[in-house]
Structure 1
Amino acid sequence: MNPPRIISVDDHILEPGDLWAARLPDRFRDRAPRLVRRRGAFKEGPRGPWQETPDGEWADIWEYEGYRMPIIPGFAAAGKDLDQFGEHWDAMRYEDMRPGCHEQAARLVDMDANRMEASLSFPTFPRFCGQTFLERGERELSLACLRAYNDWMIDEWCGGAGRGRLIPLTLIPLWDPHLAADEVRRCAAKGSFAVCFSENPTKLGLPSIHTTHWDPFLAACAETGTVVNLHIGSSSTFPVTSTDAPRAVSLTLTYQGAAHAFADWLTSGVLERFPTLRVALSEGQVGWMPFLLERLDSIWNERPAYGDLTGRLTKPPSHYISGRVYGCVFDDVVGLRLRDRVGMEQIMFEVDYPHGDSTWPRTGEVFDKIVSEAGLDDRESYLLARGNAIACYGLERFGINS
């Protein structure tokens, strides 16, 4: 069997500098997010804030309503020596990164070189689920910014030559579940059937998934066949054990956000109330899932009242996995060896282009290696590379049928 072409369910886009200035209504244009060039540095190291200084390096900085976001090396690491970043962590300019980070034609070329057929990209300046527009700007301005992003994502980034290869992933106004439902339906009518949401909304000052607060939004997703995507870090938090721990500690523990979301969604009753709703845990890997499933089912079976599950679920938590909850891997051999405990049909593949964890441009080689080491047969290899992504996201709508 020829190696299957890969569908990556987690990549990223560096937005073009004129995205908002060119698309917002005139009354908002002077307050639009803008990409500006400043001199500065991370004075306290990579975990500290970027500060403008006259003797600093030139960098491209997103500015919006008093907020500044520098382009850090991890955002656009494709083609770079990652070890160099460990010693020299400066904000970047767009010309310092591969054009594929922000240009459609160049992205398609980089995909072709990497055995990739299709890609789903998360935002950068809005952050993984649009937190920037939740935290900054009056609501009317923020909603206009969010809709401008969604229109650009659907019509331009995923349009033209990108149609059927770049799969739309859109944002919602997190501050209002009814507006969120409206935006899900609006975007679905335009051709987007995947939406970003937070792995833990309480960390953003919002109600938890254990309430019914989000039901209007979730009902719209179920109605339109829109997949809810929970990217690690979409709670605006990453695990850190101590401020002096090496970056390796945080990189190793990033799965924890996905693990928390996994436990929340399987015990919340949401998947019972919305029996067709699908959820993808982006960049979380899956090796931890078998233990959590075993633990959750054990609590449900042996001590449901003590676990506060009485009345929440009618079936064990693991019942809600099949065809509903998907994990995503980029190099998780352990998780693939335990695939029967998770369900081979629930594991998708990601490239994470152009982030620091990305396997580009060696993704085909990495994929073949982990498939071999995990002992996947041809059918399982196909499901991992693309079959499960087609089923999860309904990619037949984009002409991807097999």
Structure 2
Amino acid sequence: MCPTPVAPYVLDADSHWSEPADLFSSRAPEAYRDRLPRVVEVDGVRQWIFDGKPMGAFIAGAVIGRDGQKSASATVLHEWTVDDVHVGAHDPVERLRVLDEAGIDAQVIFPSTIGLGGQDLATADQSLARLAVEVYNDGMADIQRESGNRLLPLPLMPAWDIRSCVREVARVAELGARGVNMTSDPQDLGAPDLASREWDPFWAACAEHRLPVHFHIGASVTAMTFYGKYPWASQTESTKLAIGGGLLFIGNARVVTNLILAGIFDRHPELRTVSVESGVGWIPFILETLDYEMAENAQADLAKLKRRPSEYFRTNIYATFWFERGGNRLADLIESVGEDNILFETDFPHPTCLYPDPLRSVADKMATLPETTRNKIMGGNGKALYRL
């Protein structure tokens, strides 16, 4: 395949692993191999088991088959294992071939089946949970290094404990990380919510080490609870998936809203955050809404902020773009959101992914934009953000 030229440098800001069965056991200290996440057959069904308790089915969370074809039904997302899906979904060497075929220079990678924000690695034994996070992060650092910084699997955070998060930020920075993957609702795991000033040491550490904090859609217990409740019960399974997925995009408006109004960016102006796999179409409306609602309903709290709520997006927040339409609408969106704050993504190998030719799928849209704007969105912004 000859990739369609779109920009001189292309960075994919959102893709995913299909976690292999030995992800933890192959790297775990021998004394903990039976306690860290592993795959066990229970009543004829292969499941992830963590410290003797089920985490969920051993599935790939992917829709690209081993033959390279994208399934017409997204329900395979919950059926296929790594034996059924494209080898590039779980093998770093093959993933680099996927990037080469697609014309992508570098790619940011998130989990699939251990929680999009790593939230499923929380367990009652916090020291064991912390070890699981460290084993995962060490493995991802190895993949990043061996790929020559083309594959950027973001490290997870032990979000149930603020001090542990601060220590892990420093540790993964030493390993060469270019950002961190954070759950949006650490209160689900027993920690304060992110609006609490108790998290200020974490924000400060991320800013100090120049590690943007990523909030993927569905990256918390709370978010995935909403995902299951969005569709009406009488919808088909495929339509339920479409409804849940679509509303998860907009669900990140909740994350962006809370980040801005918590005053975090006043206290940590160098902090950068990314709303991942959420699109950009809803952002202008939400920013306008924040200005209006705060002025109408929370004037005293608004006065505590140094700027209007809508002004923080351009200085501290990025969003990812992949399927939204071109023409004047896209140009208007970019003008509202800011051309320096949009990243390109493919979502490989998930249901909405731009596969098999992601650059061709956006070429017509990008052609409507000035070259400098196009180059920023397709890779320039990401290259700067991730220090590549």
Query: TM-score, normalised to structure 1's length?
Result: 0.85
Instruction: Check if 1:329 corresponds to 2:333.
Output: no
Q: Distance in 2 between matches of 1:381 and 1:241?
A: 36
Counterparts of 2:262 and 2:17, CA distance in 1: 32
CA distance in structure 2 between the partners assigned to 1:272 and 1:102 by the alignment: 40
Q: CA deviation at 1:171?
A: 0.9
Aligned-pair CA distance for 1:205: 5.1
Instruction: Give 1:119 shift.
Output: 0.5
Aligned to 1:153: 140
Which residue does 2:354 correspond to in 1? 359
2:234 aligns to what?
Answer: 244
Distance 1:85 1:327, change over 3 A: closer
Aligned amino acid, residue 324 of structure 1: N
Match of 1:223 among 198, 208, 216: 208
- In structure 2, the partner of 1:27 is 31
Q: In structure 2, what residue type is equivalent to 1:349?
A: F
Shift of 1:139: 1.0
Task: Kindly indicate whether the alpha-carbon contact (under 8 Å) linking 2:17 and 2:90 is maintained by their aligned counterparts in 1.
Answer: yes
Which residue among 188, 191, 197 is the counterpart of 1:212?
197
Q: Match of 1:318?
A: 310
Aligned identity (percent) is: 30
| Mapped partners of 2:386, 2:297: distance in 1 | 33
Equivalents in 2 of 1:271, 1:89: separation in Å? 37
What's the offset of the Cα at 1:210?
A: 1.8
Q: Structure 1: how far apart are the matches of 2:5 and 2:60?
A: 35
Counterparts of 2:357 and 2:5, CA distance in 1: 17
Cα 1:71/1:115, change in 2 over 3 Å: farther
Report if aligned partners of 1:177, 1:215 keep a CA contact under 8 Å in 2.
no
CA contact (8 A) 1:268 1:312 kept: no
1:268 aligns with 2:256: no
Query: Conserved in 2, the CA contact under 8 Å of 1:120 and 1:168?
Result: yes
Task: Name the residue aligned to 1:303.
Answer: 296
Give the deviation of 1:314 after TM superposition.
1.7
Q: Does 1:388 align with 2:376?
A: no
1:70 aligns with 2:62: no
What is the deviation of 1:242?
A: 2.1
- Equivalence for 2:10: 6
For 2:111, the aligned partner's letter is P
Residue 115 of structure 2 corresponds to residue 123 of structure 1: no
Indicate the larger mover: 283-292 or 93-102. Answer: 93-102
Cα separation, partners in 2 of 1:336 and 1:204, compared to 1, 3 Å: farther
- Alignment partner of 1:15 out of 13, 19, 27: 19
Q: Distance in 2 between matches of 1:89 and 1:76?
A: 6
Opposite residue 132 of structure 2, the aligned amino acid is C
Match of 1:111 among 95, 99, 111: 99
Letter in 2 for 1:148: V
Cα deviations by residue, 1:256-275 (Å, 9 ceiling, x for unpaired): 22111111111110011101
Larger RCO: Structure 1 or Structure 2 (Cα < 8 Å, ≥ 6 residues apart)?
2
Compared CA separation, residues 19 and 72, structure 1 to 2 (3 A):
closer
Root-mean-square deviation (CA, aligned residues, Å) is 2.3
8 Å contact from structure 1 (residues 323, 392) kept in 2 = no
How many residue pairs are counted as aligned between the two chains?
A: 369
Over residues 109-164 of structure 1, what are the superposed CA-to-partner deviations in whole Å (9 max), with x where a residue is unaligned? 11111111100111234311221222x25111111111011010001x2122x112
CA distance in 2, matches of 1:221, 1:140: 22
Counterpart of 1:207 in 2: which secondary structure? coil
CA contact (8 A) 1:168 1:194 kept: no
What SS does structure 2 have at the residue aligned with 1:258?
Answer: helix
Give the AA of the match of 1:314. Answer: K
Query: Counterpart of 2:100 in structure 1: which amino acid?
Result: D
* Partner in structure 2 of residue 400 of structure 1: none
Output one character per residue of 1:303-359: Cα deviation in whole Å (capped at 9) or x when no partner: 3635x6245412101221224100101112245542111111111011111111111
Aligned equivalents of 1:327 and 1:9: distance in 2?
Answer: 9
Query: What SS is found at the alignment partner of 1:21?
Result: coil
Aligned-partner Cα distance in 1 for 2:365–2:188: 34
Instruction: State whether residues 201 and 209 of structure 1, in contact with CA within 8 Å, keep that contact through their aligned partners in structure 2.
Output: yes
The residue type equivalent to 1:83 in the other structure is A
Change (3 A) 1:140 1:81: same
Q: Is the 8 A contact 2:186 2:194 kept in 1?
A: yes
Q: Which runs of 4+ in 1 moved over 6 A?
A: none
For residues 308 and 361 of structure 2, the distance between their equivalents in structure 1, rounded to whole angstroms, comes to 35
Q: Within 1, Cα distance between the matches of 2:365 and 2:34?
A: 50
| CA displacement at 1:380 relative to structure 2 | 1.1
